[in-house]
Amino acid sequence: DIQLTQSPSSLSAVVGDRITITCRASQTIENYLNWYHQRPGKAPKLLIYRASTLQSGVSSRFSGSGSGTDFTLTINSLQPEDFATYYCQQSYTNPRTFGQGTMVEVE
Amino acid sequence: EVQLVESGGGVVQPGGSLRLSCAASGFTLSRYWMHWVRQTPGKGLVWVGRINADGSDTFHAGSVMGRFTISRDNTKNTLSIQLNSLRAEDTAVYYCLRATDPVNRAFDLWGQGTMVTVSA
């Protein structure tokens, strides 16, 4: 199975900050990397697919990059609704796998 | 409204069975591959398996293979997963998900989840 390792596991930030989360795959996944966020008590929501394509309706302050094994999610000008847990997920092959999550907390 | 609504969760004893359902509305279910994912506080999000658009092909994760079975009834806009031989480690919130398309393969629609607790 392809392992996805996110870093950091958690981070503290304030509204307005620019933050970056990384996701490293145990083998190449081309650009089949998706990003989700999950607010407490809610289902995850798709933010970015194929590493860098913004899902319809998602704010342009979210951006993604990378290919092969190394990927990043960047959030510009963090907003109150962005405090959540972020997950990467590979759709290159079965079984689909997720990173362990990055919790973005209020500093 | 485009949505997925899971049902059927509950408390079951180890070795028991449960059938979860996922009702789709607001879109044509038969056009999409569908997946199940579960989430536990300790292990995060874990993919359970998927079924292709017409239901002719399924793929289950190794941890549930032979115990769980995904199926669908496109005429009823319903996805299901049969959970057999349940173990304590199957305790989780179970989500049904829609995959965008065979090219992009992301999960663009999630249900609200249904809780399964396996306990004596």
Amino acid at B114: T
Q: What is the mean pLDDT of each run of 10 residues along chain B (120 residues)?
A: 97 98 97 96 89 96 97 98 97 97 90 97
Q: Do B62 and A95 touch (CB under 8 A)?
A: yes
> What is the predicted pLDDT for the residue at B2?
97
Query: With an 8 Å Cβ cutoff, is A71 touching chain B?
Result: no
Confidence (pLDDT) at B41:
75
- Contacts A87 to B, Cβ<8 Å: 44-45
User: Model confidence over A24-72: pLDDT tens digits?
Assistant: 999 999 999 999 999 999 999 999 999 999 999 999 999 999 999 999 9
Chain A contact for B3 (CB, 8 A cutoff): no
DSSP letters for A32-100:
-EEEEEE-TTS--EEEEETTTEEPTT--TTEEEEEETTEEEEEESS--GGG-SEEEEEE-SSSSPEE--
Instruction: Give the closest of B61, B106, B107 to A95, CB-based.
Output: B61
User: Phi and psi at residue B45, in whole multiples of 5°?
Assistant: -90, 130
Best of B35, B38, B45 to substitute, by most chain A Cβ atoms within 10 angstroms, is: B45
Q: What is the pLDDT of residue A94?
A: 94
Q: Which residues of B touch A91 (CB under 8 A)?
A: 99, 104-106
Q: Dig out the tokens for B97 from the structure.
A: 């998900």
Of A58, A19, A100, A7, nearest to B106 (Cα)? Answer: A58
From B100's Cα to the closest Cα of chain A, the distance in A is 10
Segment A64-105, tens digit of pLDDT: 999 999 999 999 999 999 999 999 999 999 999 999 999 999
* Contact at CB, B107 and A44, closer than 8 angstroms: yes
